[in-house]
Amino acid sequence: MITGTLRHPGINLGEHHGEDHETAETKVFGFWVFLMSDLIIFGLMFATYITMQTPWSYAEGPTPVDVTNLGSVFAQTMVLLISSLTFGFAALAVRHKHSLPRINFWMVITLLLGLAFLYMELHDFHDMLAMGAGPDRSGYLSSFFGLVPLHGLHVAAGCVWIVVMLIQLQVFGTNTVVKVRLLQLSLFWHFLDIVWIGIFSIVYLGGVA
Protein backbone atom coordinates (compact mmCIF):
# COMPACT_ATOMS: atom_id res chain seq x y z
CA MET A 1 0.00 0.00 0.00
CA ILE A 2 1.36 3.37 -1.03
CA THR A 3 1.08 6.10 1.57
CA GLY A 4 1.73 9.79 1.32
CA THR A 5 0.05 13.12 0.90
CA LEU A 6 -1.73 13.83 -2.36
CA ARG A 7 -0.31 16.80 -4.21
CA HIS A 8 -2.23 18.47 -6.98
CA PRO A 9 -0.44 20.06 -9.96
CA GLY A 10 0.19 23.74 -10.20
CA ILE A 11 0.78 26.56 -7.78
CA ASN A 12 0.73 25.83 -4.06
CA LEU A 13 1.70 27.49 -0.81
CA GLY A 14 4.20 24.92 0.40
CA GLU A 15 4.20 22.79 3.53
CA HIS A 16 5.78 25.58 5.57
CA HIS A 17 2.34 27.26 5.51
CA GLY A 18 0.96 24.41 7.62
CA GLU A 19 -2.82 23.95 7.52
CA ASP A 20 -3.17 26.77 4.97
CA HIS A 21 -1.28 24.61 2.49
CA GLU A 22 -3.63 21.67 2.97
CA THR A 23 -6.68 23.92 2.62
CA ALA A 24 -5.32 25.48 -0.55
CA GLU A 25 -4.61 22.07 -2.11
CA THR A 26 -8.30 21.13 -2.23
CA LYS A 27 -9.67 24.53 -3.20
CA VAL A 28 -7.09 25.16 -5.91
CA PHE A 29 -7.79 21.73 -7.39
CA GLY A 30 -11.48 22.67 -7.57
CA PHE A 31 -10.51 25.85 -9.37
CA TRP A 32 -8.58 23.77 -11.90
CA VAL A 33 -11.85 22.00 -12.68
CA PHE A 34 -13.58 25.35 -13.21
CA LEU A 35 -10.84 26.48 -15.58
CA MET A 36 -11.26 23.33 -17.63
CA SER A 37 -14.97 24.14 -18.05
CA ASP A 38 -13.98 27.64 -19.18
CA LEU A 39 -11.51 26.09 -21.60
CA ILE A 40 -14.37 24.17 -23.22
CA ILE A 41 -16.11 27.47 -23.98
CA PHE A 42 -12.97 28.88 -25.56
CA GLY A 43 -12.50 25.64 -27.48
CA LEU A 44 -15.95 26.01 -29.01
CA MET A 45 -15.20 29.61 -29.97
CA PHE A 46 -11.89 28.57 -31.54
CA ALA A 47 -13.68 25.83 -33.49
CA THR A 48 -16.28 28.32 -34.74
CA TYR A 49 -13.57 30.76 -35.80
CA ILE A 50 -11.60 28.10 -37.66
CA THR A 51 -14.67 26.95 -39.60
CA MET A 52 -15.15 30.54 -40.74
CA GLN A 53 -11.78 30.69 -42.49
CA THR A 54 -13.20 30.25 -45.99
CA PRO A 55 -13.66 32.83 -48.78
CA TRP A 56 -17.45 32.72 -48.56
CA SER A 57 -17.36 33.60 -44.86
CA TYR A 58 -15.73 36.96 -45.67
CA ALA A 59 -18.86 38.01 -47.62
CA GLU A 60 -16.65 40.13 -49.92
CA GLY A 61 -15.70 42.16 -46.88
CA PRO A 62 -12.48 42.62 -44.89
CA THR A 63 -10.22 39.58 -44.59
CA PRO A 64 -7.84 38.75 -41.71
CA VAL A 65 -5.01 40.48 -43.55
CA ASP A 66 -7.08 43.67 -43.83
CA VAL A 67 -7.94 43.93 -40.13
CA THR A 68 -4.78 42.61 -38.44
CA ASN A 69 -2.35 45.11 -36.97
CA LEU A 70 0.43 42.66 -36.21
CA GLY A 71 2.63 45.25 -34.50
CA SER A 72 -0.10 46.14 -32.02
CA VAL A 73 -0.98 42.51 -31.42
CA PHE A 74 2.67 41.65 -30.77
CA ALA A 75 2.87 44.47 -28.23
CA GLN A 76 -0.28 43.17 -26.53
CA THR A 77 1.26 39.71 -26.39
CA MET A 78 4.44 40.98 -24.76
CA VAL A 79 2.48 43.03 -22.21
CA LEU A 80 0.31 40.06 -21.25
CA LEU A 81 3.27 37.68 -20.99
CA ILE A 82 5.15 40.14 -18.78
CA SER A 83 2.03 40.50 -16.61
CA SER A 84 2.07 36.74 -16.11
CA LEU A 85 5.67 37.02 -14.94
CA THR A 86 4.86 39.81 -12.48
CA PHE A 87 1.92 37.84 -11.11
CA GLY A 88 4.31 34.93 -10.69
CA PHE A 89 6.49 37.19 -8.54
CA ALA A 90 3.44 38.10 -6.46
CA ALA A 91 2.58 34.42 -5.98
CA LEU A 92 6.18 33.68 -4.96
CA ALA A 93 6.03 36.56 -2.49
CA VAL A 94 2.96 34.96 -0.91
CA ARG A 95 4.55 31.51 -0.90
CA HIS A 96 7.76 32.73 0.76
CA LYS A 97 5.89 34.94 3.24
CA HIS A 98 7.41 38.17 2.03
CA SER A 99 6.17 41.52 3.26
CA LEU A 100 2.75 42.81 2.28
CA PRO A 101 4.20 45.82 0.39
CA ARG A 102 6.14 43.48 -1.90
CA ILE A 103 2.99 41.47 -2.68
CA ASN A 104 1.07 44.70 -3.31
CA PHE A 105 3.81 46.01 -5.59
CA TRP A 106 3.73 43.04 -7.94
CA MET A 107 -0.05 42.94 -7.90
CA VAL A 108 -0.28 46.61 -8.87
CA ILE A 109 2.26 46.15 -11.68
CA THR A 110 0.22 43.22 -12.98
CA LEU A 111 -2.95 45.32 -12.84
CA LEU A 112 -1.35 48.16 -14.80
CA LEU A 113 -0.11 45.75 -17.46
CA GLY A 114 -3.55 44.18 -17.71
CA LEU A 115 -5.14 47.61 -18.19
CA ALA A 116 -2.52 48.48 -20.82
CA PHE A 117 -3.41 45.28 -22.69
CA LEU A 118 -7.11 46.16 -22.61
CA TYR A 119 -6.43 49.70 -23.83
CA MET A 120 -4.45 48.47 -26.84
CA GLU A 121 -7.03 45.83 -27.65
CA LEU A 122 -9.94 48.28 -27.45
CA HIS A 123 -7.98 50.65 -29.70
CA ASP A 124 -7.66 47.89 -32.29
CA PHE A 125 -11.39 47.13 -32.04
CA HIS A 126 -12.14 50.83 -32.55
CA ASP A 127 -10.02 50.90 -35.70
CA MET A 128 -11.79 47.80 -37.02
CA LEU A 129 -15.22 49.29 -36.43
CA ALA A 130 -14.12 52.56 -38.05
CA MET A 131 -13.26 50.69 -41.25
CA GLY A 132 -16.61 48.89 -41.25
CA ALA A 133 -15.24 45.60 -39.95
CA GLY A 134 -17.85 45.03 -37.27
CA PRO A 135 -19.34 41.70 -36.14
CA ASP A 136 -22.38 42.19 -38.39
CA ARG A 137 -20.25 42.48 -41.56
CA SER A 138 -19.54 38.79 -42.18
CA GLY A 139 -19.43 35.35 -40.64
CA TYR A 140 -15.67 35.65 -40.23
CA LEU A 141 -15.96 38.91 -38.29
CA SER A 142 -18.80 37.52 -36.17
CA SER A 143 -16.57 34.63 -35.13
CA PHE A 144 -13.67 37.02 -34.52
CA PHE A 145 -15.72 39.26 -32.23
CA GLY A 146 -17.08 36.17 -30.52
CA LEU A 147 -13.63 34.88 -29.62
CA VAL A 148 -11.21 37.77 -29.10
CA PRO A 149 -13.43 40.08 -26.99
CA LEU A 150 -14.42 37.06 -24.89
CA HIS A 151 -10.79 36.80 -23.85
CA GLY A 152 -10.73 40.55 -23.27
CA LEU A 153 -13.74 40.27 -20.95
CA HIS A 154 -11.86 37.63 -18.97
CA VAL A 155 -8.85 39.97 -18.66
CA ALA A 156 -11.17 42.77 -17.51
CA ALA A 157 -12.68 40.43 -14.92
CA GLY A 158 -9.17 39.50 -13.82
CA CYS A 159 -8.30 43.18 -13.37
CA VAL A 160 -11.39 43.70 -11.21
CA TRP A 161 -10.42 40.60 -9.22
CA ILE A 162 -6.92 42.04 -8.66
CA VAL A 163 -8.43 45.26 -7.30
CA VAL A 164 -10.66 43.26 -4.96
CA MET A 165 -7.68 41.24 -3.74
CA LEU A 166 -5.60 44.39 -3.17
CA ILE A 167 -8.40 45.68 -0.94
CA GLN A 168 -8.66 42.36 0.90
CA LEU A 169 -4.91 42.32 1.46
CA GLN A 170 -5.12 45.68 3.16
CA VAL A 171 -8.13 44.72 5.28
CA PHE A 172 -7.41 41.08 6.18
CA GLY A 173 -3.72 40.65 5.41
CA THR A 174 -2.48 37.26 4.23
CA ASN A 175 -4.93 35.05 6.09
CA THR A 176 -5.95 31.62 4.79
CA VAL A 177 -8.85 32.81 2.66
CA VAL A 178 -6.87 35.60 1.02
CA LYS A 179 -3.93 33.33 0.22
CA VAL A 180 -6.17 30.73 -1.39
CA ARG A 181 -7.93 33.38 -3.47
CA LEU A 182 -4.58 34.77 -4.60
CA LEU A 183 -3.52 31.32 -5.78
CA GLN A 184 -6.79 30.91 -7.67
CA LEU A 185 -6.41 34.33 -9.26
CA SER A 186 -2.84 33.47 -10.24
CA LEU A 187 -4.04 30.33 -12.02
CA PHE A 188 -6.77 32.32 -13.75
CA TRP A 189 -4.29 34.93 -14.98
CA HIS A 190 -1.85 32.34 -16.31
CA PHE A 191 -4.77 30.56 -17.99
CA LEU A 192 -5.61 33.79 -19.85
CA ASP A 193 -2.03 33.93 -21.11
CA ILE A 194 -2.32 30.41 -22.50
CA VAL A 195 -5.59 31.24 -24.26
CA TRP A 196 -4.05 34.41 -25.70
CA ILE A 197 -1.14 32.43 -27.14
CA GLY A 198 -3.75 30.39 -28.98
CA ILE A 199 -5.46 33.54 -30.23
CA PHE A 200 -2.17 35.11 -31.28
CA SER A 201 -1.12 31.97 -33.14
CA ILE A 202 -4.42 30.99 -34.79
CA VAL A 203 -6.28 34.26 -35.24
CA TYR A 204 -3.49 36.73 -35.92
CA LEU A 205 -0.45 34.83 -37.20
CA GLY A 206 -2.67 32.33 -39.01
CA GLY A 207 -4.65 35.18 -40.53
CA VAL A 208 -1.67 36.91 -42.12
CA ALA A 209 0.21 33.75 -43.13
- 33-92: per-residue pLDDT in tens? 889 999 999 999 999 999 998 889 999 889 999 999 999 999 999 999 999 999 999 988
- pLDDT value at residue 179: 86
Secondary structure letter of residue 59 according to DSSP: T
CB distance 82 to 116 below 8 Å = no
Tally of residues, the chain: 209
Per-residue H/E/C for 71-126: HHHHHHHHHHHHHHHHHHHHHHHHHCCCCHHHHHHHHHHHHHHHHHHHHHHHHHHH
pTM: 0.88
| Neighbour count for residue 2 (Cβ, 10 Å) | 3
Residue 3, pLDDT score: 42
Q: State whether the Cα torsion 38-206-145-125 is positive or negative.
A: positive
208 Cβ neighbours under 8 A, 6+ residues apart: 64, 65, 68, 70
User: Which segments in the chain show pLDDT lower than 70?
Assistant: 1-25, 98
What is the structure's pLDDT at 196? 97
Task: Centre a 10 Å sphere on the Cβ of residue 102 and count the other Cβ atoms it contains.
Answer: 15
Residue 183 and residue 21 in contact, taking contact as beta carbons nearer than 8 Å? no
Give the domain ranges of the chain. Answer: 15-208
pLDDT of amino acid 33: 87
Q: Which residues contact 57 (CB under 8 A, 6 or more apart)?
A: 138, 139, 140, 143
Can you give the pLDDT at residue 24?
Answer: 58
Residue 173 has a pLDDT of 86
Task: Quote the pLDDT of residue 23.
Answer: 61
* pLDDT score for 25: 67
Give the max Cα distance, the chain: 67
User: What per-residue confidence (pLDDT) applies to 133?
Assistant: 95
CATH class (in words) of the domain with range 15-208: mainly alpha
Q: What is the pLDDT of residues 79-93, one digit of tens each?
A: 999 999 999 999 888
pLDDT at 4: 46
Rounded CA-CA distance 166/186 in Å is 13
